C-alpha cells in the first residue's frame, strides 16, 4: 500500500457508557418474608484500538504528519519518508460503585420474626491501557526515514533488524492504576442454628507503559538504543501492587459448630460435631487439613503444586500424592485394593476384589485395558479387553454364553458377536459393518436369520424366523427409501405384500385358516380419505369402499350349517344408511335418514315352509309395522301414546281365522273395556 498525502491519521474509538440501576424485590411464602435491594452506578470509557493489517509493503511518500492514536499498523514491510510520526496509546477509564442488602423474617405463629440481615459494597476505579498502540513489521526496518518520532506508551517492533530510521526520538511513559474493593457481612438465625459472616478485600495495582523500539533478533542500531528502551519485556511493567483480604465466619448448630477466619493470604478453619472434629490452615499455596472422628481420620498437606494426603477408616486405608507432573493414589480395604499412578503422559491403574480385577494403561495416545468380573448371582465370569491408538481401537469380551470382538478406525466400525440363549440353548452369531452412513448388519441362529443394509435414507433387509410352536418358517423382506416403504412376508399359511408412498398405501395378503383349511385373500388401497378393501375365500367374499363420510360395501357369506349363501350390501352417506341382504330363505331392505326409518323383509319358516313378509316405517314418535303370511296378517300404528292395530290369525288345529282390533289411548276418565264377537276393543286411561 502506498500513501502520498500531507497528513495521515489513524485513531481508535472511545466508547462512553454511563449507567445507574436501583433494584428492589420482595418475596413471601407461608414461612418466610424476604426483602432485597440494591443500587449500582458506573461510568466507563473504553478505548477500542483500530487495527490496520497490510499484507505487503507500506510506503509513505514524503508525508508531513502521521498520527497513530489508539491504533496498530501491522505490515510485512515499511518504507518512505515522514517528517513527524506520532504513535500514541490511550487509557480506558472506569468508575463503578454498587451496594446491596437483604432482610428476612420468619413467620412464627403468624408473627414476623427477623431472622437474617446482610449487606455488601463493591468499588472498581481505574485508568489503564488495555491495548498499546504501535507499528509491527515482519521484516527489517531499514528503508523508513523519520525526522521526529514521538512514542507515548507505544512501541515499534520488527521480526528483523532495526536500523537508524529516526533522527529525533521523544519517549513518554503512561502511568495506569486499578483499584478494586469489596466489603460485606451477613447474620442469620433459624431452628437449626445461628450463622454470622463478614468479608472484605482490596486490590490495588499501578502500571506503566514506556515507549519501546524492539527487534526479535535483538539487533537495534546503537543510536536508537541511546534514545529509547529497546527491551520489549520492559515495555509494560507493574510498579506497585497490593492485595489484602479479611474474612470471618461462625456457624453454630445443634449438631456442632464451625468457624473460619481469613487475613490476606492466611486462613484458618475449625469445625466440631458429635461425629467429627477438623481443622484447616492455609497460607498462600501452602496448607494443612486434618479431621477425625468415630468413623476414621484423614489429613492432607499442600505445598504449592504438591499435595500429600491420606485417610483411615473401618472399611479402608487410602493415600494420595500429587505433584505438578506426577500423581499417585492407592486404596486398600476389606473388599479389595486399587491404585493408580500418572507421570509425564504415562498412566497406570489397577484394582482387585473378590469378584473383579482390572488393569488399564496409557502411554501418550496409546490406551489399553483389561477387566475380569464374576457375576455374584450366576457365578459366571466375564473377561473384557481393549486397545486404542489415536482413532484406531480394538475391543473384545468373552464369557460362558457370550463372545464378541469389535474394531474401529475413524468412522469405520465392524464387529462380530456370538450369544447363547439361556432358555433354548441356541447360539446366535451377529456381525456388523459401518462406514459413514453405510451399514450392514447380519445375524444367524438355528431358528432365525437376518440381513440388513442401510445407505443414507435407503434401508433394505431380509429375515427368516421359525415359529417354536408350529415349526413354520416365515420369510420377510423390506425396502425403505424416503417415504417409500415396501414390505413382504411369506410362510406356509400366510403371504403378504404392502407398498406405501406418502399417503398412498396398498397391500395384498393370503392367510390359511388353521381349523377349516380355507385360504382368505385380502387386498386394500388407501389414498388420502379414500379406502378400498376386498377379501375372498371359499365361503366369504367382500368389497368395501369409503370416501370421506361416504361408505358402501357388498359381501357374500355361506352358512356352514345350512349351506345357504347370504349376499349383503350397504350404502352410507352422512345420516343416510341403506342396507340390503338376500338369501334363499331371507330377504331384507332397510333405509334410514335421520329419525326416518323404513324397511321390508321376507323370511321363510324352516318348519312350516311359510314365508312371512314384514314392513315398517318410523318417523319421530310415529311407528307403522305390518306383516303378512299364509296364516297370519297384522298392521299396527303408534303415534306418541296412541296405539292401534288389526291382526288376523288362523288357528292351526281348527283352521278358523280370528280377527282382532285394538286401540290404546290415554283418557282423563277411568277404565273402559268393550268386547264383541271376534272383535276386542280394549282401552286404559290414566290421569
Locate the domains of the chain by residue range. 2-186+205-244
How much is the pLDDT for 207? Answer: 96
E strands, 89-142, are: 92-108, 111-128, 134-137
CA distance 532 to 528: 11
How much is the pLDDT for 474? Answer: 94
Mean pLDDT estimate for the chain: 90
Region 585-594: mean pLDDT is: 95
pLDDT at 660 over 80: no
What's the pLDDT band for 412 if we cut at 50, 70, 90? very high
pLDDT tens column, 156-206: 999 999 999 999 999 999 999 999 999 999 999 888 889 999 999 999 999
How much is the pLDDT for 8? Answer: 93
Residue written as grid cell 423390506: 478
pLDDT tens column, 298-325: 999 999 889 999 999 988 999 999 998 8
Region 271-280: mean pLDDT is: 91
How much is the pLDDT for 674? Answer: 38
pLDDT at 667 over 60: no
Question: Whole-model pTM above 0.85?
Answer: no
How much is the pLDDT for 676? Answer: 36
How much is the pLDDT for 264? Answer: 86
What's the pLDDT band for 673 if we cut at 50, 70, 90? very low
Which range scores top for mean pLDDT: 31-40, 404-413, 653-662? Answer: 404-413
How much is the pLDDT for 579? Answer: 97
More confident residue, 113 or 327: 327
Residue 363, phi-psi category: left (phi > 0), alpha (psi -120 to 50), beta (remainder) = beta
Residue 513 φ then ψ, to 5°: -75, 130
Region 150-155: mean pLDDT is: 95
pLDDT tens column, 486-520: 999 999 999 999 999 999 999 999 999 888 888 99
Q: Which three cell numbers stand for residue 265?
A: 493470604
pLDDT tens column, 10-56: 999 999 999 999 999 988 888 888 999 999 999 999 999 999 999 89
* Number of helical H runs and strand E runs in the chain: 1, 55
CA distance 590 to 579: 5
Q: 3-state SS of 535-602? A: EECCCEEEEEEEECCEEEEEEEEECCCCCCEEEEEEEEECCEEEEEEECCCEEEEEEEECCEEEEEEE
How much is the pLDDT for 38? Answer: 93
Q: Are 279 and 298 in contact (CB under 8 A)?
A: no
Q: Are 333 and 351 in contact (CB under 8 A)?
A: no
Region 639-663: mean pLDDT is: 81
- When mean pLDDT is compared across 120-124, 129-133, 426-430, 513-517, the lowest value belongs to 513-517
pLDDT at 653 over 80: no
pLDDT tens column, 599-643: 999 999 888 888 999 999 999 999 999 999 988 999 999 999 999
pLDDT at 336 over 80: yes
Using DSSP's 3-state secondary structure scheme, residue 70 falls into coil
CA distance 154 to 132: 6
CA distance 114 to 189: 8
Q: Are 648 and 633 in contact (CB under 8 A)?
A: yes
CB neighbour class for 635 (10 Å; exposed up to 12, middle 13-18, buried from 19):
middle
Q: Which of 463, 502, 500 is nearest to 485 (CA)?
A: 500
Q: Which three cell numbers stand for residue 427?
A: 447360539
Tell me what percent of the residues of the chain surpass a pLDDT of 90.
74
pLDDT at 657 over 80: no
How much is the pLDDT for 662? Answer: 66
Torsion angle defined by CA atoms of residues 142, 146, 150 and 154, in that order, rounded to the nearest 10 degrees: -30
pLDDT at 155 over 60: yes
Region 670-683: mean pLDDT is: 38
What's the pLDDT band for 677 if we cut at 50, 70, 90? very low
Amino acid at each position: 500500500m502506498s500513501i502520498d498525502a500531507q497528513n495521515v491519521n489513524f485513531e481508535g474509538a472511545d466508547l462512553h457508557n454511563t449507567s445507574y440501576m436501583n433494584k428492589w424485590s420482595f418475596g413471601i411464602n407461608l414461612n418466610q418474608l424476604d426483602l432485597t435491594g440494591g443500587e449500582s452506578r458506573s461510568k466507563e470509557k473504553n478505548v477500542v484500538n483500530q487495527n490496520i493489517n497490510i499484507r505487503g509493503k507500506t510506503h509513505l511518500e514524503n508525508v508531513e504528519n502521521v498520527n497513530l492514536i489508539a491504533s496498530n499498523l501491522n505490515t510485512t514491510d515499511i518504507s518512505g519518508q515522514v517528517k513527524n510520526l506520532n504513535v500514541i496509546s490511550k487509557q480506558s477509564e472506569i468508575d463503578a460503585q454498587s451496594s446491596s442488602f437483604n432482610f428476612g423474617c420468619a413467620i412464627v405463629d403468624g408473627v414476623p420474626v427477623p431472622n437474617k440481615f446482610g449487606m455488601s459494597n463493591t468499588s472498581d476505579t481505574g485508568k489503564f491501557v488495555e491495548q498499546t498502540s504501535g507499528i509491527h513489521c515482519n521484516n527489517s526496518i531499514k528503508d523508513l526515514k523519520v525526522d521526529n518520532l514521538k512514542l507515548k506508551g507505544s512501541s515499534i517492533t520488527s521480526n528483523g533488524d532495526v536500523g537508524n530510521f529516526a533522527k529525533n526520538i521523544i519517549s513518554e511513559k503512561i502511568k495506569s492504576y486499578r483499584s478494586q474493593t469489596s466489603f460485606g457481612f451477613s447474620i442469620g438465625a433459624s431452628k437449626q442454628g445461628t450463622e454470622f459472616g463478614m468479608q472484605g478485600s482490596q486490590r490495588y495495582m499501578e502500571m506503566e507503559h514506556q515507549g519501546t523500539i524492539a527487534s526479535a533478533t535483538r539487533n537495534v542500531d546503537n543510536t536508537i538504543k541511546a534514545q529509547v528502551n529497546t527491551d520489549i519485556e520492559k515495555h509494560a511493567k507493574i510498579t506497585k501492587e497490593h492485595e489484602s483480604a479479611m474474612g470471618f465466619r461462625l456457624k453454630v448448630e445443634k449438631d456442632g459448630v464451625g468457624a473460619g477466619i481469613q487475613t490476606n493470604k492466611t486462613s484458618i478453619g475449625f469445625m466440631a460435631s458429635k461425629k467429627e472434629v477438623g481443622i484447616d490452615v492455609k497460607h498462600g499455596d501452602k496448607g494443612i487439613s486434618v479431621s477425625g472422628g468415630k468413623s476414621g481420620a484423614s489429613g492432607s498437606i499442600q505445598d504449592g503444586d504438591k499435595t500429600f494426603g491420606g485417610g483411615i477408616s473401618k472399611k479402608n486405608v487410602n493415600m494420595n500424592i500429587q505433584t505438578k507432573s506426577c500423581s499417585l493414589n492407592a486404596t486398600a480395604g476389606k473388599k479389595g485394593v486399587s491404585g493408580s499412578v500418572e507421570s509425564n503422559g504415562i498412566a497406570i491403574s489397577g484394582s482387585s476384589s473378590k469378584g473383579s480385577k482390572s488393569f488399564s494403561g496409557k502411554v501418550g495416545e496409546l490406551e489399553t485395558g483389561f477387566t475380569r468380573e464374576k457375576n455374584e448371582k450366576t457365578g459366571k465370569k466375564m473377561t473384557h479387553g481393549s486397545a486404542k491408538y489415536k482413532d484406531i481401537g480394538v475391543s473384545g469380551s468373552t464369557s460362558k454364553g457370550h463372545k464378541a470382538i469389535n474394531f474401529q478406525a475413524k468412522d469405520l466400525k465392524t464387529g462380530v458377536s456370538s450369544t447363547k440363549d439361556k432358555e433354548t440353548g441356541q447360539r446366535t452369531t451377529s456381525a456388523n459393518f459401518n462406514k459413514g452412513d453405510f451399514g450392514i448388519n447380519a445375524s444367524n441362529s438355528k431358528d432365525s436369520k437376518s440381513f440388513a443394509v442401510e445407505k443414507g435414507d435407503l434401508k433394505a433387509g431380509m429375515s427368516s424366523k421359525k415359529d417354536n410352536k408350529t415349526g413354520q418358517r416365515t420369510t420377510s423382506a423390506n425396502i425403505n427409501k424416503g417415504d417409500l416403504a415396501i414390505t413382504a412376508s411369506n410362510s406356509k399359511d400366510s403371504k403378504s405384500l404392502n407398498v406405501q408412498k406418502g399417503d398412498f398405501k396398498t397391500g395384498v395378503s393370503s392367510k390359511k385358516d388353521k381349523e377349516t383349511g380355507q385360504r382368505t385373500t385380502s387386498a386394500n388401497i388407501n389414498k388420502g380419505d379414500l379406502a378400498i378393501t376386498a377379501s375372498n375365500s371359499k365361503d366369504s367374499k367382500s368389497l368395501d369402499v369409503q370416501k370421506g363420510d361416504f361408505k358402501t360395501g357388498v359381501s357374500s357369506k355361506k352358512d356352514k350349517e345350512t349351506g345357504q349363501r347370504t349376499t349383503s350390501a350397504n350404502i352410507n352417506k352422512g345420516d343416510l344408511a341403506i342396507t340390503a341382504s338376500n338369501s334363499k330363505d331371507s330377504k331384507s331392505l332397510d333405509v334410514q335418514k335421520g329419525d326416518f326409518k323404513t324397511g321390508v323383509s321376507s323370511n321363510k319358516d324352516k318348519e312350516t315352509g311359510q314365508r312371512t313378509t314384514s314392513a315398517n316405517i318410523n318417523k319421530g314418535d310415529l311407528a307403522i309395522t305390518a306383516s303378512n303370511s299364509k296364516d297370519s296378517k297384522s298392521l299396527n300404528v303408534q303415534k306418541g301414546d296412541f296405539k292401534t292395530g288389526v291382526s288376523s290369525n288362523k288357528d292351526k288345529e281348527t283352521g278358523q281365522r280370528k280377527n282382532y282390533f285394538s286401540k290404546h289411548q290415554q283418557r282423563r276418565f277411568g277404565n273402559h273395556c268393550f268386547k264383541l264377537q271376534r272383535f276386542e276393543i280394549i282401552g286404559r286411561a290414566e290421569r
